[in-house]
Chains A and B, each alone.
Chain A
Amino acid sequence: MLKVACVIIIFYAFLYHSEALPSDLCRIRPKDKHCLIEYMARNRWSHQIRVFKRFREVNPDLIPKRMTENQAHTIAVPVEEIEKLPELKENPFKRRICQVFSHDGSGNLTFEDFLDMMSVFSEAAPRDIKAWYAFRIYDLDDDMYIGREDLLEATRLLTKGELHAQEREEIVASVLDEADVDGDGRLSFMDFEHVVVRAPDFLSTFHIRV
């Protein structure tokens, strides 16, 4: 409800964002709690502040209220705690998502990793970046190909283990039949991108709102 009042006020407070941002590498604004890199997704300060609040909610003891630049890429929250976040809790691919975005592949995320993750999943991320990260997430064994085992595991996770093995095999065979263009029995990034960029719902499903 407060936001309605803000709607009126902000129209008259147009100069709020009037300072020009220099092209420094790292600019510390007094009201922000961490170092923000200027190129980030169209300067969405409000988005980044929300992300930081979310990150801090995971473990308030571990993460200080004001984070310095160094802390942004050293303090890592363990993967079990990240998975308890409401946005990830129900996601069948949560472990793989954490692994993809973590700096060392283990799943423990620093703030920068978390910010990366939320930017990729936000609305502003371009379709190609989303396709790339979706490819890495579905590639469960991390061999740069979505192979048969990856697809079997993905269908199992999606249906929470309901389908029989035979049905899963059929599904995987159909997927490979449809999507595998170069016919090597697995999906390379080109194949995957070809499928996903043309799906009407990819952008709306591959989207986490923070």
Chain B
Amino acid sequence: MDDEIEVDPRPLSSRRSFTLRNSAARQVAVNFMPSRQIPYNTLRLRRNNTENNALLTDVAEAADEADNADVQANIIVREMEQHHQLMEDTPDAEELRREALRELPQGLTMKRNVRAKLSASVSLRSKRKPISLWKRFKYRMSFGWKRTKDRMRDLVFSIELWYEAIRNIEGHFGSAVGSYFYLVRWLFTMNLLLSGMVILFVVVPQVLHDKPDKTVNFGFWDFISGQGWLEDSLLFYAHYHDGAVVTAGLSYYMPFAYFFTMVCLYLTCFAVLCYRTAYSYRRNFIETGGGVTLIFANKVFCGWDFGIVSHKAAEFTSTSIYNEFKELLSEQNRNKVSMPVCVRICQYMTNIVATGLVLALVVAVNWGLWHMLEAETAWAGWELAVSALLTLVVTLCPLVFYGVVKLEYYTRRTAVYVTLARTWLLDMGALMLLLVYWSRSNTDCWETRFGQEAYRLVLLDAVVSLLVLPAIEFIRALIYKLNPDSSAPEFNIAYNSLTLIYNQGVLWFGLLFSPLLVVAVTIKFFILFYVKRECALRACQPARKVWRAAQTQTVLYVLVTLSLFATLFGLGSLFFRSSSKVCGPFRGYETVYSVLSEGALRLSEHPAAATILAFFGRPGPLAFILLFLCVSVYYMRARALAHSSMVVILRHMLVLQAKDKDFLLNAIAKVSNGEWSYSPKAAEGPDSHTWKYIRDVRKPSNSGFHFDASRLSHSFGDRPRSRVKEYRPYSHLTERSKSNDGDTDSSFSWQGSSSRLAQTEDDKRWP
């Protein structure tokens, strides 16, 4: 058997040179190893039909297809029966069984068979113990809760707004562009829910309170700038009543309603966003990567987007995969010259300088904005001009940042993240600045002015993103059609996502001061979806480079969450300071926070509680809490790093175990032929390990012992090479003695005998 090994200079093909017989024998031996009998704690069955059949050839030889399937079902059922927690007659066990069946990688027919057999087996075994009342109640509660959760999930899935539209887009452009539209849909749904709540709890009572005798003197100028007639409308903070709304005998206290609705909405959104971000981060960053990145393997196995439907997109994808392969091959073939230290320092310095420049630009923009606001002239359109300028800056700055990042030395993906972060910083800085300016200005009713500002920003951004940008896209598409040499317009996912984040940020800041703003933004997102869809389908080409969407999604969620966090921080600090005395629902209160402390909790009547709360508000405890958070973050990070180094160590161990397995299987195969011998090397003395071993363990009476002086170290040349060969991908990780014959212990070697008798026995034993 060993004599059939070809000594081949190309190591990969030498592994294929075993005979089929040998590999089948090996396979059977491997299948009986403990690592292949995966325990059903994990409830997985990895074998498939072929492997099972290999084990049962003599049983199922003459059987037709139905019997074969039946036999396999029996095997599966038998293996599942070995787990007692699966076979009980309780609803919990039933859930476990259902989960196990769901994870079974078999076809539906097989699953149905297994299900039937399992049920029969369980009902046979059930001892029919009477369940106590408490247990029955517990089961029903947990079962009911699980059912409710499933039903809710099914409800959410069955709505599937815009399902066909997104599927169409994914078919044409791939899943990356699809993920942008998913983000639009998700934000739209969240804003829709927000607007529903706001309307229900805040706007409707106010409408009931209003006297319907206002004349409608509504001009175009008012609509754009939010002043004039709109100023004292439902749109803004000033209009809301600061007392109780009484209708039909029911009393509804507006300040409480306004305060608690807003606070609850903000906090709920924050919680949902945090959860969503954490889930996305876990799925895309933690469960993946974490160790060696396998570039080629990922490219081959995850390169093709299975959702592609259009022929053009398929062509583009295969071209881009081709280009990426060529790029990777050329990178690999190029000698990896490690860059000299000074070049690397130069690159770092360039990056730092560029970051400094960008930060300076952000600061300059904010400074300019502040001065513009301060230099408020009497011109009626001044505020509109400020808003227009801010919108212009926000639209153009990402392009500037794109240009800057091209000059820096980042990888492509890091460049995208850096640009996103910088633009976000610019947007948030501007919005914070506006908030600070208006709250510090001593105008009456500054909240309405800020609300108007937010309203104007949303409106102007709608003009830009719904009219101007699509027009530019269509013009570019026209140019491309007339002149195919120019660059094709592609759907710029990063830029469009930035628009979404900016809009959402403006909404967070403005929600408190302009309740109906959320309705405006909801409508805007609705229209945006259709506009962007038409833009993509008609004007854009599929992307030339593949865009890794999953991790960018996480970054976008993080940015939205951070916007909300910044908002909460800003508004929270405002709450503690003062409230407007002239307008709004909090007129009667000293600070907005006193709505909670005086109005709801009546803390002035409970001085003890007041002192406790005041204590927590002081810097000392806050600093302590902050310190505690920092320490726990550091601890988590240290643990994560430890885990990842553990992963590296375990991977090394895996490789070594595989080599051991290889070696042992070889040995098993040879030993079963009765062909092994010990031949100590000539240079060894009688006290060497080998001789001692032969004397004490392998006594000469043993039939396998065979000392052949001729097969000593000088006959290396015709000694068959074992499979543990030099070409090992991870060989640089382990120290190996470079002995030619591949022995791990230099004192004995495996010898193959070419006796015909041994071979025919081998034939008989392994069919």
Contacts and interface: CB of A to CB of B under 8 A. Distances in A.
B297 A208 contact: no
Best-buried of B65, B119, B290, B296 by chain A (most CB within 10 Å): B296
Chain B interface residue number, banded: 35 or more
Interface string A46-68: 11000000000000000000000
Interface string A67-101: 00000010000000000001101111100000001
A37 B108 contact: yes
Contacts of A208: 306-307
B266 interface: no
Interface string B37-64: 0000000101010110000000000000
B284 interface: yes
A59 B318 CA distance: 30
Contacts of A200: 284-285, 288-289, 548, 550-551
B103 A128 contact: yes
Given A14-B155, A185-B15, A201-B548, A175 B300 contact: yes
Contacts of B48: 136, 144
B693 interface: no
Contacts of B105: 129, 132-133
A103 B106 CA distance: 10
A29 interface: no
Given A167-B329, A208-B306, A201 B550 contact: yes
Contacts of A204: 175, 179, 305, 549-550
Interface in B102-130: 102-103, 105, 107-109, 111-112, 115-116, 119
A164 B327 CA distance: 14
B439 to A, nearest CB: 37
Contacts of B325: 155, 159, 163, 167, 171
Interface stretch (B254-262, B595-603, B654-662): B654-662
A195 B661 contact: no
A91 B304 CA distance: 8
A114 B306 CA distance: 16
Interface string A154-198: 110011101100010011011111111111111001001001111
Interface in B1-33: 12-13, 15-16
A167 B297 contact: no
Interface string B292-307: 1011111011111111
Contacts of A136: 48
Contacts of B170: 209
Interface in A101-147: 101, 103-104, 112-113, 115-116, 121, 126, 128-129, 132-134, 136, 138, 142, 144, 147
Contacts of A132: 46, 105
Contacts of A186: 15
A207 B107 CA distance: 19
Given A91-B304, A200-B550, 6 more contacts: A17-B155, A37-B111, A43-B150, A177-B729, A183-B662, A207-B307
Nearest to A93: B304
Nearest to A124: B157
Interface in B633-657: 651, 654-655
Interface residues of A, number: 93
Contacts of A101: 107
Nearest to A209: B167
Interface stretch (B309-317, B505-513, B611-619, B669-677): B309-317
B301 A207 contact: no
A205 B303 contact: yes
Given A142-B50, A144-B51, A207-B307, A198 B289 contact: yes
Contacts of B380: none
Interface stretch (B158-166, B414-422, B573-581, B741-749): B158-166
B348 interface: no
A10 B572 CA distance: 36
A209 B170 CA distance: 9
Contact of A45 (B46, B158, B548): B158
A3 B662 CA distance: 59
Interface in A1-17: 3-4, 6-7, 10, 14, 16-17
B155 A16 contact: yes
A179 to B, nearest CB: 4
Contacts of B605: none
B332 interface: yes
Mostly helix, strand, loop or mixed at chain A's interface? helix
Contact of A87 (B46, B175, B309): B309
A98 B72 CA distance: 22
Contacts of B171: 86
Nearest to A161: B318
Contact of B154 (A26, A42, A133): A42
Mostly helix, strand, loop or mixed at chain B's interface? helix
A138 B329 contact: no
Interface string B314-339: 10001101100110110010000000
A151 B301 CA distance: 10
B291 interface: yes
A194 to B, nearest CB: 9
27 contacts: A3-B163, A17-B155, A37-B111, A39-B115, A42-B154, A43-B154, A44-B157, A86-B171, A87-B307, A90-B309, A148-B13, A162-B318, A163-B326, A170-B332, A173-B12, A179-B294, A180-B729, A181-B655, A182-B662, A198-B288, A198-B289, A199-B294, A199-B298, A200-B289, A201-B550, A205-B302, A209-B307
Contacts of A133: 105
A192 to B, nearest CB: 7
Contacts of A174: 296, 328, 332
Given A91-B306, A113-B107, A158-B321, A39 B150 contact: no
Nearest to B175: A204
B698 interface: no
B728 interface: yes
B302 A196 contact: yes
Given A44-B154, A181-B658, A4 B102 contact: no
A93 to B, nearest CB: 8
Contacts of B192: 7
B160 to A, nearest CB: 7
A37 B112 contact: yes
Given A89-B309, A185-B12, A116 B108 contact: yes
B297 A195 contact: yes
B287 interface: yes
Given A142-B50, A171-B329, A204-B549, A7 B159 contact: yes
Contacts of A167: 325-326, 329
A181 to B, nearest CB: 6
Nearest to A166: B329
A203 B309 contact: no
B288 A25 contact: no
B318 A144 contact: no
B692 interface: no
B339 to A, nearest CB: 23
B154 to A, nearest CB: 5
Contacts of A203: 283, 550
A175 B292 CA distance: 13
B211 interface: no
Contacts of B658: 181-183
Q: Can you list the 4 inter-chain pairs with the closest CB atoms, starting with the nearest?
A: A182-B658, A185-B15, A90-B314, A112-B108
Contacts of B308: 90-91
Contacts of B50: 142, 144
